[in-house]
Amino acid sequence: MASGDPERGTKNRGYNTANVHYVETSDKLWTSWLIPIFVVANIAVFIVVMYVNNCPKNNLDFYGKCVAKFLGRLSFQPLKENPLFGPSSSTLEKMGALEWNKVVHEHQGWRLITSMWLHAGVIHLLANMLSLIFIGIRLEQQFGFVRVGIIYLLSGFGGSILSSLFIQRNISVGASGALFGLLGAMLSELLTNWTIYANKIAALMTLVIIIAINLAVGILPHVDNFAHIGGFLTGFLLGFVILLRPQFGWHESRHLPADTRVKSRHTAYQYVLLLVAVVLLIVG
């Protein structure tokens, strides 16, 4: 009888030298569907925001004319106001952007969640969604929708919390906190499952480059690196807890003769990292 979860897709056994990252697994791969839904949801929310924004009606021409007027009420604010091809700040605030005063003094804590589904413009949305597809689908295929969904949502929430603590005069929007949570989880997963990876340095350098590029996005309007850092730290710690894999060779050792010493499922350092991560998550 085949091992693994019946909801998963095709099986991938043995070594995989074509993949710079993962080299051994006896688990089946999941079919990725949650990450595509997140992508569609973010795009749909952006369209709704632009519809509510209605630049032709609400623009007062202080910064110039609406961009792409052929889109009608979906046209963008003047580039002097929003260079990312998106709505006005007032529309983003109305639709649930993260704003410290409203969260703290007006008790609108729901903004900690809604802000992660909003984007400042087409460029912001495109950058985040391409990164989400590139990173999220791979993680969901390997670890399933439950664990990846938990990391995504909690990291977005963690990013919003840190952002609201440090950004008190501007609004903040974007899925970057959740995205950085997935990056953080990828890094902790690489570290805690070190024995099952080939080309470890190449995998580590790839992650570092991706993280650096996304941090550069923090200089864009309405996007802040505090959300990135908060999301990254949340995902990094969660990765140690819920992305734990059996050590290299454990699957094969289970099928050895009865008198053969079988490898333990996890190494001591994996348990140490898990314990430290749990403590930090609780304290944090």
- Which residues are the active-site residues? 176, 228
Q: How far is Cα 230 from Cα 255, in angstroms, rounded to an integer?
A: 43
According to DSSP, the residues that pair with 28 across neighbouring strands are 11
How open is the CA angle 144-188-150, to the nearest 5 degrees? 35
Q: Which amino acid is at 162?
A: L
Pick the closest to residue 39 from 113, 123, 130 (CA basis): 130
End-to-end Cα distance, the chain: 43
- Residue 32: which residues within 8 A CB-CB, separation 6 or more? 136, 137, 140, 141, 145
Q: How far is Cα 255 from Cα 250, in angstroms, rounded to an integer?
A: 9
Phi, psi of 222 (to 5 degrees): 65, 10
